A and B are shown apart, each in its own frame.
Chain A
Amino acid sequence: MSFVEYGDTIKDGDTAIVFLGHESMFPVKVQHGTVTQTKYGVIRHSTDLIGKKYGSKVTCSKGGWVFILHPTPELWTMNLPHRTQILYSTDISIITMMLELKPGSIVCESGTGSGSLSHALIRTVAPTGHLYTVEFHQQRAEKAREEFREHGVEHLVTVTNQDVCKNGFGVSNVADAVFLDIPSPWEAIGHAKSALKAEGGRICSFSPCIEQVQRTCLAMEEYGFTEINTLEILLRVYNVRTISLQIPDLGKAAEDNSSAGFDSSNPSNQGSPCANLQQGAVQFKSGVPLREMVGHTGYLTFATKS
């Protein structure tokens, strides 16, 4: 296993994702002799995991079973231990594309936080690119380093423990892209500019509040960034449900068998595969929005240095 390369079988020392069903999962560090408790019973790493194929069904002691998945940055994002608020895959994907990241890109990031975005960035720039990430919180920086080592990606990332607003990224004229997720990004725009390659590059700043965006945009303009563009992306997830709506009784004659009564409006007659008729009800498939959704994560401001 590695976060930047698929492996077929589970090995000692791997990080794997245990999938319990229905969005419920957690990461495990695979180790000989270790056991993991789940609500379906115990998983013994030596016999149940090591040597098995990723994607296998593993039967636990109580007869229940789980799936063991190969780690990806997206699964990691859903399961990582939070040390800070993190960026989720929806924002990460637009950031990656708008920063034009690809294998070989050099990226600067601050702050590292819980490393959610970092893993995704490393995945995209591997095997020839590099991530320079700056975290001013010493403990978090340490923890991130440890995780990168465990995940087999430490050769692709440099973690620096310093204040990006004061001391910058520790590199200059090397980056193709800079990403800022800090409380006062406008104070780091100058450092971002000098971290970017002389021939130019892209920058992105993530801020929850519009006032932060305002100041950032002004700073970007001041430093000569062009193509300044602010956007927001929202994810809508749908549950697939079979819905059944009752047909109202409008007093139509009972002997007129009910199906004939609303033939014209019944989609099942048009060959719709999931509509059918039972006891005065019409069934259909629907994508139902979740009762609650994430309404705001942050504004993303992109710009170009040229």
Chain B
Amino acid sequence: RKIIFEKQWFYLDNAIGHTYGTTFEVTSGGNLQPKQEVEETTTETKEAGTDNRNIVDDGKSQKLTHDDIKALKDKGIKGQEIVQQLIENSTTFRDKTEFAQDKYIKKKKKKYEAVITIVKPSTRILSTMYYAREPGKISHLRYDTLAQMLTLGNIRAGNKMIVMETCAGLVLGAVMERMGGYGSIIQMYPGGGPVRAATSCFGFPKSFFDNLHEFPLSKVDSLLSGTFSTETLPSEENALVEEESNGLTDEKQTSLLEAEEESATETAMEINQTEEQDTMDVNAEDGEFKENKEKENSNVQQKQRKQWERRKKLIETAALLTEKNADGLIIASKFHPTPLLLSLLEFVAPSRPFVVYCQYKEPLLECYTKLRERGGVINLKLSETWLRNYQVLPDRSHPKLTMSGGGGYLLSGITVVLDKGKSDSSHSEALKMEEPSSKRCKVQDPHC
């Protein structure tokens, strides 16, 4: 399989059998494996200037022409040697300060010495990568914000989590990694089916999917009002089949979409995904592909069996939800968070954390107000994190020049037992009591 990455193309065959973290050099086509660490070829000329007062930018300091360089490249000369040539033919190089020389070499190396490192997929790698490459697909959820969500949500083995996300399955994958296959996850999905393009990049073992359930968002209301169960009782076969087949056409569309998405990301994605291929094939967990295949040679019987299985899973998931004892709720979607949160919180047990992500602050302000009106939550916190990266080098340590402008906002809190049977007035009174008097004004209804 041919893979394209950063304007290079290569085959992965040679990479098999090496440990993760191995660095490879790209040759014309295949992969060559150089040493882990190339001995830094310290330029023999340890000459260096002290300042740049005599360095003039005349555009002629590099004696090699554009064509010369291209010729070197075409000859298939090692990148390392090209860099050396460039240095030797730079008239100003010797006059540059030691630090500037360093910087020059680094820059050239980056351009001419193509090396790739193959690493194991993890939330760290994938979330960093998605934020850098496809921020739109994950609602600009920055990796440190995702980290906060996992911690604030107390995600751990054994939990029963509800996850509602439209982040290509990245948040789901992160939650799955932290739960390590223990406990259960119910993914609420909009449209015809859950998107798990990023989830499949993690290369989870098949067993992790045994306790991963999904439930359509459009059925939440009926589930809460209690009309869901009758609708899907096995006795009402007809209504069900109809509803299911509707669901299927829906699903067909989205799974197509998904396939598209996947192929699109595949080329853009870093090594991680491609490297995944070996394990992914073994897993064959790709529900979508399977479904597609099955649909292709679909005969009526298979279709019916699938419908039946789907229905069974749906009923199971509904049963899990109606226990209303989930250990937490994670929301990160492109939808308005308020209605999602107000409905889905019903399924969460008291004294459990919930976290809502939103790219924008304003919807969370409203969410905060509505939650206060509803009650049943405490310790509400609206927050944002800033992330700053540093360059640390001897005598050259400072914050990196650019930092991310925004990684979204979080609203988090803890559920408590909701006062039942009390009138609304006493309820809002209770709310006021919770707030120190000075801040009372902020919980009052906006009346508009």
Contact = CB atoms under 8 A, between A and B. Distances in A.
A107 B182 CA distance: 20
A53 B385 contact: no
B397 A103 contact: no
A233 B21 contact: no
B392 A217 contact: yes
A90 B149 CA distance: 10
Nearest to B177: A102
A26 to B, nearest CB: 14
Nearest to A127: B157
B352 interface: yes
A238 interface: yes
A136 interface: no
A67 B147 contact: no
Contact of B124 (A74, A97, A231, A268): A97
Contact of A238 (B154, B383, B386): B383
Interface residues of A, number: 75
Interface string A210-240: 1001100110000010101111111111111
Given A55-B417, A238-B384, A93 B21 contact: no
B385 A90 contact: yes
B350 interface: yes
Given A74-B151, A103-B178, A200 B21 contact: yes
Contact of B351 (A69, A228, A241): A69
B122 interface: yes
Interface in A271-306: 273-276, 283, 285-287, 299, 301, 304, 306
A97 B386 contact: no
Interface in B363-409: 364-366, 368-369, 378-379, 381-392, 394, 397, 399, 409
Contacts of A102: 177-178, 180
A69 B446 contact: no
Interface residues of B, number: 77
Contact of B369 (A120, A232, A276, A285): A285
A231 B385 CA distance: 13
Contacts of B184: none
Nearest to A93: B151
B446 A127 contact: no
Nearest to A67: B416
Given A97-B143, A200-B21, A287-B365, A126 B156 contact: yes
B344 to A, nearest CB: 17
A287 B382 contact: yes
B389 A96 contact: no
A97 B389 contact: no
A53 B154 contact: no
B147 A236 contact: no
A233 B387 contact: yes
Interface in B105-154: 122-124, 127, 143-144, 146-148, 150-152, 154
Nearest to B376: A55
- A-B CB proximity, top 5 nearest: A55-B350, A103-B180, A306-B21, A55-B351, A93-B151
11 contacts: A54-B351, A55-B350, A97-B123, A100-B122, A103-B156, A104-B180, A200-B21, A224-B37, A229-B389, A241-B442, A301-B392
Given A55-B349, A242-B441, A276-B447, 8 more contacts: A93-B148, A93-B150, A93-B152, A98-B124, A236-B386, A274-B369, A283-B446, A306-B20
